[in-house]
Amino acid sequence: MKIVMLGAPGAGKGTQAKMIAAKYGIPHISTGDIFRANIKNGTELGEKAKQYMDQGLLVPDELTLALIMDRFAKDDCANGYVLDGFPRTIAQAEALTESLKAQNDALDMAIDVDVPDEDIIERMGGRRACVACGGTFHVLFNPPRVSGKCDLCGGELSIRKDDLPETVKKRLMVYHEQTQPLIDYYKAEGILRTVDGTKDVNEVFAEITALFE
């Protein structure tokens, strides 16, 4: 099963991608997480990516494609994957289609988690991430048991630089310009499905699992 999650930053596609991965036993691949792990480990790739991420811009396709193709080569991708945050441009989507085609393969579904911009701005303002393990929480919708502390490892929670209000607005603009066209791209491929991302996490997940039946 090869799935792409679409949706604005903060639409909840990461949460849904993790739930899909757990239920169907496929890896959850988030390019954002891979970039952040590289930044944390001080790699050259991380250093390059950070310059773009901190401004709410996309990392150039060339860097992103090299990273994701390397990830697809790992054994755990043999039975498929759920992609979260990739592709984000038409060029990335085309590169993915081509690389799958070369192996006589194709994506099964692109799921758009649809949420209006106003809701996105409210959600992202409340997002907190653990500086130690990357675990994510929300002050209103998914609060940690102890305020400011990660439930998973006890680490400090902070606002990611790319979740700051000005950066959120920039990321939404970038989303509408560069990523939203993927909705039409996958519609034309006949694999687009849309779910209402304003609903409760479990209701959204129920809508998604119904798509697989």
The residues carrying an active-site annotation are 13, 88, 127, 160, 171
Partners of 5 in the β-ladder: 84, 111
Binding track over 70-89 against ligand AMP, x by CB under 6 A: ---------------xxxx-
Q: How far apart are CA 27 and CA 92, in angstroms?
A: 20
171 lies in the binding site for ligand AMP (CB under 6 A) = yes
Range in contact with ligand AMP (rule: CB under 6 A) among 17-25, 52-60, 100-108, 126-134: 52-60
Q: Site residues for ligand AMP, window 89-108 (CB under 6 A)? A: 92
54 CB-near residues (< 8 Å, 6+ apart): 161, 162, 167
HEC string of 33-57 equals HHHHHHHHCCCHHHHHHHHHHCCCC
- Residue 4 Cβ vs ligand AMP, minimum distance, rounded to whole Å: 11
Smallest gap from Cβ 101 to ligand AMP, in A, equals 19
Closer to ligand AMP by CB, 171 or 195: give it.
Answer: 171
Contact 151, 145 (CB under 8 A): yes
Q: According to CB under 6 A, which residues from 124 to 143 bind ligand AMP?
A: none
Sheet containing strand 109-114, strands side by side: 28-30, 81-84, 2-6, 109-114, 192-196
**52: contact with ligand AMP by CB under 6 A:** yes
Contact at 8 Å (CB) between 165 and 173?
Answer: no
Q: Is there binding between residue 8 and ligand AMP (CB under 6 A)? A: no
Give bridge partners of residue 10 from the DSSP assignment.
none
Residue with Cβ nearer ligand AMP (7 or 80): 7
Binding-site ranges for ligand AMP (CB under 6 A): 9, 30-32, 35, 52-53, 57-59, 64, 85-88, 92, 162, 171
